[in-house]
Amino acid sequence: MREFELIDELAARIREAGVAGGERVVVGTGDDAAVTTPGGASVTSVDMAVEGVHFRRETSSLEQIGRKALATALSDLAAMGARPGEAFVALGVPEDLDREGSLALLEGLVEIAAETGTAIAGGDVAAAPVLTLAVSVVGHVDSAEQAVGRDGAAEGQVICVTGELGAAAAGLLLGERPELRDALDPEIAAALLRRQLDPRPRLEAGVALAASGAAAMIDVSDGLGADAGHVARASEAYLTIELGRLPVAAGVAEVVEAADMGLDALDLAAAGGEDYELLATIGADRFDAAAAAVLETGTELSAIGEVSRGCGVELRATDGSARPPRGFEHRRGTR
Q: Which of 146, 169, 193 is the last residue of a domain?
A: 146
Give the C-alpha separation, 84 to 81, whole Å: 10
**What's the domain count of the chain?**
2
**Considering the domain boundaries, does residue 230 fall inside one?**
yes
Q: Does one domain contain both 137 and 19? A: yes
pTM: 0.90
**Considering the domain boundaries, does residue 227 fall inside one?**
yes
Q: Does one domain contain both 21 and 170? A: no
Domain that holds residue 223: 158-323
Q: Does one domain contain both 139 and 213? A: no
196-233 pLDDT tens trace: 999 999 999 999 999 999 999 999 999 999 999 999 99
**CATH code of residue 293:** 3.90.650.10
Give the C-alpha separation, 174 to 181, whole Å: 6
How far is the first Cα of the chain from the last one, in angstroms, to the nearest whole number? 34
Q: Does one domain contain both 168 and 114? A: no
Q: Which of 114, 146, 178 is the last residue of a domain?
A: 146
Q: Return the closest-CA partner of residue 196 out of 59, 7, 40, 41.
A: 59
Q: Does one domain contain both 11 and 122? A: yes
Q: Are 194 and 171 in contact (CB under 8 A)?
A: yes
Q: Does one domain contain both 85 and 214? A: no
Question: Does residue 1 carry a pLDDT above 70?
Answer: no
Question: Amino acid identity, residue 332?
Answer: R
Q: Does one domain contain both 111 and 211? A: no
**Percent above pLDDT 70 for the chain:** 92
Question: Does residue 309 carry a pLDDT above 80?
Answer: yes
235-266 pLDDT tens trace: 999 999 999 999 999 999 999 999 998 888 99
Q: Does one domain contain both 71 and 191? A: no
Q: Does one domain contain both 110 and 225? A: no
Q: Which of 102, 119, 146 is the last residue of a domain?
A: 146
Give the mean pLDDT of the chain.
91
Q: Dihedral through CA 120, CA 123, CA 126, CA 131, nearest 10?
A: -40
What pLDDT, on a 0 to 100 scale, did the predictor assign at position 27? Answer: 62
| Rg of the chain, C-alpha, whole Å | 20
**CATH code of residue 106:** 3.30.1330.10
* Residue 22 banded pLDDT, cuts 50, 70, 90: low
**Considering the domain boundaries, does residue 286 fall inside one?**
yes
